[in-house]
Amino acid sequence: MSHEKPTLWIVAGAQWGDEGKGKAVDILAEQADVIYKTNGGKNAGHTVQNDCGTFALHLTPSGIFYPDKLNIVGNGVVYSLAEGIREVEDLQSRGIFTDGLFISSRAHLTFAFHEKEDALQEQFRGSGKIGTTGTGNGPGYSDKANRLGLRAEMLQKPDDLMSELNKSLGIKSKLYFPNQIIPDEFRAEYYEELVKHGARMLGDKVVDIYEFNEEQLRKGATLLIEGSHGTLLDIDGGTYPMVTSSSCTVPGLISAAGLPNMRADRAIAIYKAYQTRVGAGPMPTEILDEIGNKIRKVANEFGTTTGRPRRIGWFDGVAAKHAQRMNGFTESVITRGDVLTGIRDIKIATAYFDGREATTKFPSSAATLECCQPIYQDRGYSWTEDFRGATAWGDLPQEAQQYYIMLAKLTGVRPTYIGTGPKRGDGINLSFDLRETA
Ligand code: IMP
């Protein structure tokens, strides 16, 4: 570790998730000392492809592929015990060194009953379904807030975990299944083997994150937080109630990492050059015609966790600015513009019509946003020259350059990198401020 002062970097999705955070995280993880996952759980997924193969990770921070790095699951995570074990076993069986993985004692564990509750709640919502990933995320966070949660610290005392499970499931069974047969997933015995196995495999990875952080800060380590989901799914600032159950903003991620008062040196927004959303909830710029299907197909926009087709939308400048307002990003990365090559008349929303007037306010609830119509810039963008893999600004068609300049101006954040393809080298480092370009 070369720094005397600790350094904090954060990568966060600036839309509704799936912005392509993985590449930025991978590049930065190489230079960081500690990589944190601090929000979400099994609902967040990323696929990592490297020399050792293809890995589907939901809970394990991406720095795990670097044997000299520390990786920690923070307080703000709901950690599916079964999935955590699966990931660690998969990594170990394929020769990945997992000694550098730690789990905060204050992270919450989730189980199959959380997934059942997720499914039941969705069923009972009827037409108001959120379209969750079904991974038990919301019920995991409800238990935490409701003080029924089971924390990772109990992996060091499996007998206590079993008895707490018993208590918690006793309450839930009374609530969900009064005078009915109780499903196996709501009986503590169902988890006996899992808990024993989890305690054996993960018990010694459980640490006090405040002490862990104190040590890293003292050493002047470079800390990287990889945010899960996207900021418009944030429990407070997102399109409530069509959101996920964790805090997805930069300040929320810092808090969920158990870090004390500190400001991120780099808070990097990942904006996709268009938008996607999975599940229900408003997205004013949604493209419901053939063009949407075409982009989905070309860009392979299907969920990593659930395989669901992602809904496609034009870039929404109002939502993008709201993202900046919530997060205070220091810079941005714009991904996937290359997949728009050949699409005619690419649109950008610059305001909404809220039924009464044009506005650039992002409403606080899903219901109000649902009533907003996008107002598009009075020109569209089209280019046909393929720039996949481009590494210099000058390699972009002029029309694409104009498109990126407009995106930069609307976000209010300075782009420092434009992604032009999935490979590490596919991208353009920007040494000048696009927002100041005509
Ligand atoms: P939950 O997080 O499974 O409760 O789902 C709540 C909402 O967030 C649903 O609309 C999901 O589709 C969405 N969601 C959760 N995680 C992600 C993600 O990583 N990418 C995109 N959408 C997500």
- Of 198, 189, 187, nearest in space to 158 by CA: 198
Q: Of 18, 26, 33, 316, which residue is the catalytic one? A: 18
135 Cα to the center of ligand 1, angstroms: 9
Q: Of 26, 46, 316, 322, which residue is the catalytic one? A: 46
* Lowest mean pLDDT, pick from 248-252, 349-353, 364-368, 399-403: 364-368
pLDDT digits (tens, 9 = 90+) for 202-247: 999 999 999 999 999 999 999 999 999 999 999 999 999 999 999 9
pLDDT of residue 4: 80
Give 351's pLDDT tier (boundaries 50, 70, 90).
very high
291 Cα to the center of ligand 1, angstroms: 24
pLDDT of residue 305: 73
Ligand 1 and 44: CB distance under 6 A: yes
Question: In the predicted model, what is the mean pLDDT of residues 264-282?
Answer: 97
List C-alpha distances in Å: 276 to 28, 80, 138, 265, 330. 24, 26, 21, 28, 23
The tokens for 385 are 């020259």
CB 269 within 8 A of CB 331: yes
pLDDT digits (tens, 9 = 90+) for 410-435: 999 999 999 999 888 899 999 999 99
Residue 112 DSSP label:
H
Ligand 1 and 336: CB distance under 6 A: no
- Of 253, 276, 257, 260, nearest in space to 327 by CA: 253
**46 among known catalytic residues:** yes
Ligand 1 and 235: CB distance under 6 A: no
- Strand 34-37's sheet: what is its strand order? 206-207, 101-104, 70-73, 34-37, 222-230, 7-13, 266-272, 331-335, 415-419, 427-429
> Mean pLDDT of all residues in the chain?
95
SS3 for 323?
helix
The tokens for 162 are 């079993």
**197 among known catalytic residues:** no
Would the pLDDT of 119 be above 90? Answer: yes
Side-chain-side CA neighbours of 310 within 13 Å: the count stands at: 22
pLDDT of residue 23: 87
Would the pLDDT of 263 be above 70? Answer: yes
pLDDT of residue 1: 53
Does residue 200 or residue 46 have the better pLDDT?
A: 200
Would the pLDDT of 375 be above 60? Answer: yes
**Alpha helices in 146-281, H assignment, sequence order:** 158-176, 192-202, 209-219, 250-256
220 Cα to the center of ligand 1, angstroms: 35
**Residue to probe by mutation, ligand 1, list 121, 226, 233, 234, most atoms within 8 Å of CB:** 233
Would the pLDDT of 2 be above 70? Answer: no
Ligand 1 and 282: CB distance under 6 A: no
DSSP 37-63: E-SB-TT--EEEEETTEEEEESSS-GG
Ligand 1 and 17: CB distance under 6 A: yes
pLDDT digits (tens, 9 = 90+) for 237-250: 999 999 999 999 99
pLDDT of residue 307: 85
Would the pLDDT of 362 be above 80? Answer: yes
pLDDT digits (tens, 9 = 90+) for 378-397: 999 999 999 999 999 999 99
pLDDT of residue 240: 96
The backbone region for 37, taken as left when phi is positive above 0, alpha when psi lies in -120 to 50, beta otherwise, is beta
Would the pLDDT of 192 be above 70? Answer: yes
Contacts of 354 (CB under 8 A, 6+ apart): 361, 363, 368, 371, 372
Would the pLDDT of 3 be above 60? Answer: no
350 Cα to the center of ligand 1, angstroms: 26
Ligand 1 and 131: CB distance under 6 A: yes
Would the pLDDT of 49 be above 80? Answer: no
- Protein residue with its CA nearest to atom 18 in ligand 1: 229
